[in-house]
Amino acid sequence: MKNNILILGASGQIGTELTQKLRVLYGDNHVIASDIKKGNSTVLNTGPFEILDATDKESILRIVKKYKINQVYLMAAMLSATAEKLPQKAWNLNISSLLAVLDLAKEKHIQQVFWPSSMAVFGTTSPKINTPQQTIMEPSTVYGISKVAGEHWCNYYHENYGVDVRSIRYPGIISWKTKPGGGTTDYAVDVYFDALEKGNYECFLSENTQLPMMYMDDAIKATVQIMQAEESNINIRTSYNLSAISFTPQEIALEIKKHIPNFKISYNPDFRQKIADSWPNSIDDSFARKDWDWKHDFDLSSMTKDIIRNLKANKNMFFKAV
């Protein structure tokens, strides 16, 4: 059967690029993008788009029936930094959207669900270096609490109702096509834009804050790969650890200086430092590598080269004057 896919939260940082990739793979009219707001013109112009609230189960069901959807990618969420300012709203959005989609799968309206978790499931009591797949998970943020709870809901629906839900714990995702939406790792996107536009960047994390990160191309590759894997290879139904690179603001600045020698970075940590300090420095993702052959393509150097080349090539789109 040809997949008919619905993406909830398609106007966001990851949803935008995921929509484009899935349209290439499955055909423009088989991938329905949706969000509570309109987003990127590429998403709007290359295939169907619906305004849709991811917490509204009946409206999702209407769209599922309209387009004969069998797969849902739930990308709508409130991210770590914004969620700390609106904890109740974050909990409601992150959990009720997941339960709505899992229920639709339980009722057999859809066959497969993708839902991303995050490294934010870990907290200060988790091992910080090479954080294992199974370990202490005591997150200190409402975002992390919602992701741990969400992971257990996924596992519960799989165990009790046979729902084929698949999940990965994304590290910080770095992209140049779309700006991030209120996370603690957003600095690693902003730094490239400011380096090219202004030649300097004030970082909201301290220079030695090491965090697990991943280039968008790798994040999309992992997402497609886990959804295409044989069902029998998916042994973890909470969420898979996933990792690619780990670096500090100082290390990314040094890499940028290789391309923009006069680039200057300064540090002015804010409330996001506390969130970053509660997360791992690096993550052990050997289960993903073993179960569904995950491997990343980009390191800090090749990612930086690719981002700077693309931002320079598309400067009229992004910068007032470069």
Rounded alpha-carbon distances, angstroms, from residue 226 to 68, 116, 181, 223: 22, 11, 24, 6
Instruction: Count CB neighbours of 251 within 10 A.
Output: 15
Which residue type sits at 152?
A: H
User: CB-wise, 75 or 234, nearer to ligand NAD?
Assistant: 75
CA 280/CA 172 separation, integer angstroms: 11
Of the pair 77, 102, the CB lying nearest ligand NAD is at 77
Closest CA to 54 of 142, 121, 128, 150: 150
From candidates 5, 9, 165, 265, binder to ligand NAD by CB under 6 A? 9
User: What's the CA gap between 224 and 114, in Å, rounded?
Assistant: 10
- Alpha-carbon distance 62 to 285, whole Å? 37
Q: Which of 4, 6, 7, 13 binds ligand NAD (CB under 6 A)?
A: 13
Backbone torsions φ then ψ of 149, nearest 5 degrees: -60, -45
CB of 73 to ligand NAD, least distance (A): 9
Which residue, 212 or 253, is less far from ligand NAD as judged by CB?
Answer: 212
DSSP 29: G
Token pair for 166: 């698949």
Q: Which of 69, 72, 76, 110 binds ligand NAD (CB under 6 A)?
A: 76
- Closer residue to ligand NAD (CB): 63 or 257: 63
Minimal distance, residue 104 CB to ligand NAD, in Å? 15
* DSSP one-letter string for 190-237: HHHHHHHHTSEEEESS-TT--EEEEEHHHHHHHHHHHHHS-GGG---S
Size of the site for ligand NAD (CB under 6 A): 29
Residue in 6, 291, 236, 246 with CA at minimum distance from that of residue 117: 236
Q: According to the binding rule CB under 6 A, does residue 249 interact with ligand NAD?
A: no
Under rule CB under 6 A, which residues in 161-180 are in contact with ligand NAD? 170, 172-173, 180
12 lies in the binding site for ligand NAD (CB under 6 A)? yes
Q: Which one is catalytic: 73, 143, 170, 192?
A: 143
201 is catalytic: no
Work out how close the CB of 251 gets to ligand NAD at its nearest, in angstroms, rounded to a whole number.
18
Positions marked active-site: 143
Which parts of this chain interact with ligand NAD (CB under 6 A)?
8-9, 11-15, 35-37, 39, 53-55, 75-77, 79, 93, 116, 118, 170, 172-173, 180-183, 185
